């Protein structure tokens, strides 16, 4: 329990650090009114900006993952706050705290295994040859040594570990 | 000016190979010095991977950039997402010595090193800056007398402070490249609105993502265009496959052909639709092909 609190404090420090710029926010709401996702989901970017740096509750907000990173809010913010950059940093802190959605985990697994978020499949190999391209593109799909390089880098950066751990603590969080 | 290397990304070679073929045919026809970039991986995608770990994102992007540096060529992307990652990563390497050193500590393990001495280009930006609409028009063999809804996508132009292509509110450069081919670019409400796919929303929240797409498609349908033209295979997939997914979800039916700019350009340069992967077996694209055939 103590450990968890200590982690929480550390996390809040990190959140505060990446969100300093959000303190300039005057809650005018142009970010929300410019947000295409906000018209179709429960994302209220103005609320997230208000929460940014003040509470670790933001890490559990499902809305954090509803942003398509279209940058409209950031472009139109009269205070020049880099809203999307802040949101991406908060997402990363959330991921490092064990929160990665199952679907996103699958995308990560694709990258780890194939070096591509969307790897080739049989149907598309046929599509390729059907229009006169080689079956495999000039990517890591064709060059296995190069794929190994990608795997070395993913491991060097601790990415696999991050994704694996997220699964475990994600379960604990929802329990 | 340096020559180019072609960065394919994931969706183009693995889902829409017609865009790869169209790009290669167009580059050759326009006499653009561009070679394959062997051994590249996922860019990696900005919305998801940068959201999880910036170091991983920057390091993998840097490895891709190194492949092009080793050829002493600028990188050409045909995807807004790849452009976003590679441009942003390249800028970080050039402007932030600490990031560069961090990345090189990882790259050392595979015997590579990033220098930060090339540029990343997007094909729309490249064609506009280096050729311009008038020169493109001079290559056109087949005037495309069609009405087009241009979809810029978000990351080609935003964040505007980094892209340097002007304001995103009412841009014109992409439209000019379309009208250079004889086509009309039709204005429509919410033209600059997101397709709904980015930021990992498509993968994790498909229904919500398609809600945004449906709104955009409905606006486009009202204008009665012959097709949508985009500069990003992720937007392309969302607007194309998304039409089928929306129909399955709630029965709403759109029959709007979707082309990447390289495919539209390929048609105008005289290449047949089949070579460009504008599959005539797809009913919605057949409409467009019939229209073009009737104009010959």
Question: Mean pLDDT across the stretch B117-121?
Answer: 98
- Residue given tokens 């452009």 in the structure block: B83
Report the gap between the CA of B261 and the closest CA in chain A (Å). Answer: 18
Q: Is B168 an 8 Å CB contact of chain A? A: yes
Mean pLDDT of B52-59: 97
Q: Report whether B14 contacts A120 (CB < 8 A).
A: yes
Look at residue B245 and tell me whether its pLDDT is greater than 50.
yes
- Write the pLDDT tens digit of every residue in B166-196: 999 999 999 999 999 999 999 999 999 999 9
Cβ A74 vs Cβ A82: under 8 Å: yes
C-beta atoms of B204 and A101 within 8 A: yes
User: Could you report the per-residue pLDDT of A72-127, keeping only the tens digit for each?
Assistant: 999 999 999 999 999 999 999 999 999 999 999 999 999 999 999 999 999 999 99
The CA distance from A3 to B59, in Å, is: 31
Q: How far is CA B167 from CA A3, A81, B170, B191, in A?
A: 48, 17, 7, 14
pLDDT (0 to 100) of residue A174:
39
Cβ atoms of B145 and B295 within 8 Å: the answer is yes
Contact A37 B158 (CB under 8 A): no
CB-based contacts of A148: which residues, under 8 Å, 6+ apart?
none
For the residues B38-65, what does the mean pLDDT come to?
A: 96
Among B20, B17, B76, which residue's Cα sits nearest to residue B43? B76
* Chain A: closest CA distance from residue B189 (Å): 13
Axis crossing angle, helix A144-156 with helix B97-107, rounded to the nearest 10: 120
Q: Are B20 and B93 in contact (CB under 8 A)?
A: no
Check if the beta carbon of residue A163 is closer than 8 Å to that of residue A100: yes
What would the two tokens of residue A65 be? 């993952």
Q: Report DSSP state, residue A32.
A: H
So what's the pLDDT on residue A168?
52
Could you say which DSSP state residue B130 is in?
A: I
Interface of B with A in 186-205 (CB under 8 A): 190, 193-194, 196-201, 203-205
Contacts of B78 in chain A (CB under 8 A): none
Residue B160 contacts A where some CB pair is shorter than 8 Å = yes
Q: Give me the pLDDT at residue A170, please.
A: 43
Contact B40 A140 (CB under 8 A): yes
The ipTM of this complex is: 0.95
């Amino acid at each position: 329990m103590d450990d968890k609190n200590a982690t929480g404090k550390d996390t809040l420090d990190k959140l505060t650090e990446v969100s300093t710029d959000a303190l300039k926010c005057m809650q005018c709401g142009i970010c929300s009114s410019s947000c295409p996702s906000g018209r179709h989901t429960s994302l209220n970017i103005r609320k997230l900006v208000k929460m940014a740096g003040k509470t670790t509750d933001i890490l559990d907000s499902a809305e954090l993952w509803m942003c398509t990173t279209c940058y409209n809010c950031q472009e139109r913010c009269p205070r020049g706050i880099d809203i999307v950059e802040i949101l991406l940093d908060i997402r990363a802190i959330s991921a490092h705290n064990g929160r990665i959605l199952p679907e996103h985990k699958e995308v990560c697994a694709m990258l780890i295994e194939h070096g591509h978020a969307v790897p080739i499949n049989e149907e598309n190999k046929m599509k390729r040859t059907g229009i006169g391209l080689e079956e495999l593109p000039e990517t890591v799909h064709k060059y296995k040594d190069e794929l190994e390089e990608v795997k070395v880098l993913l491991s060097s950066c601790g990415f696999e570990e991050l994704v694996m751990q997220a699964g475990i603590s994600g379960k604990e969080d929802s329990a | 000016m340096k020559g180019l290397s072609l960065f394919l990304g994931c969706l183009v070679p693995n889902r829409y190979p017609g865009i790869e073929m169209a790009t290669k045919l167009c580059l050759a026809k326009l006499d653009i010095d561009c070679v394959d970039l062997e051994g590249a991986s996922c860019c990696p995608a900005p919305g998801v991977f940068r959201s999880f770990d910036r170091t991983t994102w920057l390091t993998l992007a840097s490895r891709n950039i190194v492949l092009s540096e080793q050829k002493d060529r600028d990188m050409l992307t045909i995807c807004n997402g790849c452009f976003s990652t590679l441009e942003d990563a390249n800028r970080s390497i050039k402007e932030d010595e600490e990031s560069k050193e961090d990345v090189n500590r990882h790259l050392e393990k595979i015997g590579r090193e990033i220098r930060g001495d090339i540029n990343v280009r997007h094909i729309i930006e490249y064609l506009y800056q280096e050729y311009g609409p008038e020169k493109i028009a001079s290559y056109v063999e087949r005037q495309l007398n069609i009405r087009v809804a241009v979809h810029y996508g978000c990351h080609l132009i935003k964040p505007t402070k980094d892209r340097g292509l002007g304001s995103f509110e009412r841009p014109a450069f992409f439209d000019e490249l379309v009208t250079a081919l004889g086509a009309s670019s039709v204005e429509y409400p919410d033209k600059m609105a997101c397709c709904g796919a980015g930021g990992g929303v498509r993968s994790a929240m498909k229904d919500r993502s398609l809600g945004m797409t449906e709104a955009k498609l409905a606006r486009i349908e009202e204008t009665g265009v012959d097709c949508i033209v985009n500069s990003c295979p992720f937007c392309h997939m969302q607007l194309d496959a998304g039409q089928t997914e929306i129909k399955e979800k709630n029965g709403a039916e759109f029959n709007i052909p979707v082309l990447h700019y390289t495919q539209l350009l390929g048609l105008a340069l005289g290449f047949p639709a089949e070579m460009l992967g504008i599959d005539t077996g797809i009913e919605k694209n057949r409409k467009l092909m019939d229209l073009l055939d009737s104009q010959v």
